[in-house]
Amino acid sequence: MTGSPDAIPSAKADDTVPFKSAEEAWFWFIQAQTARNEGAKITAGAGLYPRPCEPVDIIKVLERLYRARTVTMDHVMVLRHYGQRLLSPDPRRPKELRAHALWREALTKLEDALVVKRIVVRPHWIKLVTNNDAR
């Protein structure tokens, strides 16, 4: 994606499979970045599903949220730590309670930004609940 930070991906949306949540997009990004760090070459459209973005687009959105002070370094560190584990923090574990709260906050903010870019598409029932609450 090029252009403004709020640019919407081009009209190839019919060919792509958007993510169902920011968490899914984040884990995809982490796996792609890990593969890249281990020497894999990232090629557009070469994955199992054609995605509406490149892995770098996810981190660019997170960086923009960080620069705008929407998320803090604590959020970023929790996303990185648990992302590398490919597990979200478990709220039933006392030592992970704060991490769970930071994880949820960060992913909520990230998801809102990814929905605008059409990288994440929320299920229709979430849209209905949100629209009814707005009235």
Q: DSSP code of 18?
A: -
Residues 6+ apart with CB under 8 A from 101: none
Model confidence band, residue 11 (pLDDT cutoffs 50, 70, 90): very low
pLDDT at position 47 is 64
Model confidence band, residue 8 (pLDDT cutoffs 50, 70, 90): very low
Q: pLDDT higher for 38 or 110?
A: 110
pLDDT at position 74 is 98
Q: DSSP code of 117?
A: T
- Threshold 0.85, pTM exceeds: no
Rg (CA), the chain: 15
Under 8 Å between Cβ of 2 and 56: no
Give the domain ranges of the chain: 16-38+49-134
